[in-house]
């Protein structure tokens, strides 16, 4: 079942690329942007995350923390983050707990028959932990609406 706008965001604890645990509920008091993406080092994922990197001031100006989440290992995400100079945290959902909780897990990824890859999805969570924006992209090649994300963040401040 998809996460509905107005629902309490499912909590999770995942490790970031620096091997630190990050718990969503501990970010209360800040707006949070969750960006689930299929796989590091792929063209569309790189374009998506580099767009956020290049526009990070827009997120920072809205009291928002951006978290990129994929099923890649934290070691892969560390290399990806460094190579792309990403200026926000990447979290490893290697065990697929967060992707399952947010209902954004492909049973079979459209390319290469891989099992258990995250769908491209975006969620904006307000300072109280309530989902204010939810978008699951129809295909892995689609990008989320950065304008929709920004408009939602602007409405929260």
Q: Which residue has the tokens 């990129």?
A: 68
* Catalytic site includes residue 45: yes
Q: How far apart are CA 116 and CA 104, in angstroms?
A: 10
Of residues 9, 5, 2, the one with CA closest to residue 128: 9
Cβ contacts of residue 12 below 8 Å, gap of 6+?
23, 24, 93, 97, 98, 101
Beta-ladder partners of 106:
117
Q: Which of 71, 81, 68 is nearest to 32 (CA)?
A: 68
**Catalytic member of 14, 34, 45, 153:** 45
Instruction: Give the residue numbers annotated as catalytic, written as ranges.
Output: 45
């Amino acid at each position: 079942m998809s996460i509905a706008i107005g629902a309490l965001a499912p909590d999770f604890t995942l490790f970031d690329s620096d091997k630190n645990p990050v718990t969503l509920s501990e970010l209360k008091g800040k707006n949070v942007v969750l960006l689930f993406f299929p796989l590091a080092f792929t063209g569309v994922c790189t374009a998506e995350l580099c767009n956020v990197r290049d526009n990070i001031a827009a997120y920072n100006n809205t009291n928002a923390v951006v978290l990129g989440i994929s099923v890649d290992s934290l070691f892969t995400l560390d290399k990806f983050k460094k190579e792309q100079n990403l200026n926000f945290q990447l979290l490893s959902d290697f065990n697929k707990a967060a992707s399952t909780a947010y209902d954004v897990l492909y049973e079979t990824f459209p390319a290469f028959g891989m099992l258990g890859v995250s769908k491209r999805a975006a969620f904006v969570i307000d300072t109280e932990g309530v989902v204010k924006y939810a978008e699951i992209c129809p295909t892995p090649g689609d990008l989320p609406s950065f304008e929709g994300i920004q408009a939602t963040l602007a409405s929260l401040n």
